[in-house]
Amino acid sequence: MTLNKMSAGLAVLLCAGFPALAEIDLSGSWSSINHEDALERGGGPNPVDWAGLPFNEAGRAKALSFSQSIISMPERICWFQTQWHIAAGPFSLRIWAQPDPITGKPIAWIIGAWETRAPMTIWMDGRPHPSKNAPHDQTGFTTGVWNGNELIATTTHLKTGYIRRNGAASSDQATITTHFLRHGDMMTLALLIEDPVYLTEPYILTRSYNLGPAPVAIGGPPCIVGDEGVESGRVPHYLPGKNPFVDEMMKLYHIPSEAALGGAQTMYPEFRDKIKDKFEIPAKCKLNCG
């Protein structure tokens, strides 16, 4: 056998046992690093802090009507989150492949559930998304394609949810595009949400993970409804113009309301120049100072 024939044979052998080129293995337990957006992913953001969110008027009005007490209603205590929770929650990920029983190739990648989020099944077999009139459920419907070493997943058929845990909402018309970018034992997820009901532009969050030997738990303890201070049937809310925390970011950090109330312009660096004359660094940071 010539050297060329040996090389060709070796190449065939190597390819047979591994995914096709330009696909990578995502399986394993990925520990969230949580070095970004710590307040948002930890204790939770301040009320009426929507800077950087590309709200339209409906999105802002919806958020201003939100009272945090609403999710202490017995009916909502066990409210499930959409797949956006992957971007905005604090938890780690367990990912595995579901193989085709004949070919052994992954027909889906699955991201395990959390106690507050259903699993995400990313179908890789080219199946179409359901009709736009099909029911929306807790998982949404997700398909994926490879772009080189990057997996791009598209999720539709979501239920309503949150974008930021202080009232910034997403509608059931929103779609989420998730980019899986693996670099050795690190992986970055870039999630992009588009919502024609509440946003004027896509909103993007990234977060990174380390691959580790410790298994990441799937699911979690069951949610138990209890008395969190809001009786059944009362729906806490603020009527238009009555949100008492509109000036919270000004009081805490001197951030003008035109920034705190969000809008696409607040996402871009040049907005800083626009408001710099209205901002004065507080003499002392009082709360959540990093």
Partner 1 sequence: MKSKLFVLVFAGVSVLGVRAYAHHSFASTYLEDQKMTIEADVLQFLYRNPHSFLQLESKDAAGKPITWAVEWGAGGQLGSQGVNRDTLRPGDHVVVIGQPGRNPDDHRLRMIDIKRPSDGWSWKGTFD
Work out the number of other CB atoms within 10 angstroms of the CB of residue 1: 7
77 binding partner 1? (CB under 8 A): yes
- DSSP state at residue 71: G
Pick from 75, 100, 137, 227: which binds partner 1 (CB under 8 A)?
A: 227
CB of 125 to partner 1, least distance (A): 31
196 binding partner 1? (CB under 8 A): no
Give residues 252-281 in contact with partner 1 (rule: CB under 8 A).
none
Give residues 141-170 in contact with partner 1 (rule: CB under 8 A).
165-167
Pick from 82, 83, 92, 156: which binds partner 1 (CB under 8 A)?
A: 92
Pick from 1, 3, 102, 287: which binds partner 1 (CB under 8 A)?
A: 287
Tell me the three state secondary structure of residue 95.
strand
Whether the CA torsion 97, 101, 107, 111 is positive or negative: it is negative
233 binding partner 1? (CB under 8 A): no
User: How many residues make contact with partner 1 (CB under 8 A)?
Assistant: 51
31 binding partner 1? (CB under 8 A): yes
Query: Is 196 or 212 the residue whose CB approaches partner 1 more closely?
Result: 212
- Show the binding pattern over residues 98-137: x = contacts partner 1 (CB under 8 A), - = does not: ----------------xxx---------------------
Which candidate, 217, 193, 213, 183, places its Cα nearest to that of 26? 183
Virtual torsion, Cα 203, 141, 120, 62, nearest 10 deg = 40
221 binding partner 1? (CB under 8 A): yes
- Show the binding pattern over residues 53-72: x = contacts partner 1 (CB under 8 A), - = does not: --------------xxx-xx
Query: Is 108 or 259 the residue whose CB approaches partner 1 more closely?
Result: 259
Query: Is 115 or 194 the residue whose CB approaches partner 1 more closely?
Result: 115
Query: Is 81 or 175 the residue whose CB approaches partner 1 more closely?
Result: 81
Which segment (6-14, 44-52, 53-61, 270-278) binds partner 1 by CB under 8 A? 44-52
**Residue 262: partners with Cβ closer than 8 Å, 6 or more residues away:** 50, 51, 52, 53, 54, 55, 59, 60, 63, 168
Whether the CA torsion 51, 53, 57, 61 is positive or negative: it is negative
Query: Is 19 or 236 the residue whose CB approaches partner 1 more closely?
Result: 236
Measured CA to CA, the distance from residue 76 to residue 223 in angstroms comes to: 11
Q: In the chain, what are the helix, strand and coil shares in percent, each to the nearest 5?
A: 20, 25, 55
- CB distance 67 to 277 below 8 Å: no
Pick from 17, 101, 229, 241: which binds partner 1 (CB under 8 A)?
A: 229
Cα radius of gyration rounded to whole Å, the chain: 22
239 binding partner 1? (CB under 8 A): no
Work out the number of other CB atoms within 10 angstroms of the CB of residue 150: 14
Which candidate, 154, 205, 196, places its Cα nearest to that of 174? 196
- DSSP state at residue 229: S
Structure token digits, residue 144:
């994926």
Q: Give me the residues that bind partner 1 (CB under 8 A), please.
A: 31-35, 38-39, 41-47, 67-69, 71-72, 77, 79, 81, 89-92, 114-116, 165-167, 212, 214, 216-217, 220-221, 224, 226-230, 236, 244-245, 286-288, 290
